[in-house]
Amino acid sequence: MEWWTNVWVPLIIALFTATATLVGTLAGVRAQLKINEKKAEEDRRRLEDARERKEAERQEKQEEALKSILRTELLRIYFRRIEKGQRFLTQWESENVHRMYASYTALGGNSFVTDLVNRMNEWDVVQN
């Protein structure tokens, strides 16, 4: 019996202690994993928000550039006719003016171009 007490009891106690330590360590690891997962999700959300903001800014710049191009082309058509003393548009020009104007207003264009297009609407439209 002394052999049992001297060898097996300390071994069993050591195994229980090691098991308890392992269980505690695993619980700590699980808790840390949850914390890391939460931080990773927050980081992912933050990066996604930043990407969406950057995309929205890029989209806004593209829309402003497109409005500028449309406004410039409408002005070009207007002043080309005015410089020649012509108060008419060809059928194709008229169609283009109205399509560009519709796009321009859909992008939030201002009343300056509206006034310009209204002036051109008073002109005659001739066959190409």
- pLDDT at position 29: 83
- pLDDT at position 1: 62
Structural domain count, the chain: 1
Three-state DSSP class for residue 75: helix
- pLDDT at position 92: 95
12, pLDDT greater than 90: no
Structural domain of 78: 2-126
In this prediction, residue 4 has a pLDDT band, given cuts at 50, 70 and 90, of: low
Q: Half-sphere exposure of residue 34, counting CA atoms within 13 Å on the CB side?
A: 6
In this prediction, residue 49 has a pLDDT band, given cuts at 50, 70 and 90, of: very high
Find the mean pLDDT for residues 16-34: 82
Q: Which H helix or E strand runs over 88?
A: strand 88-90
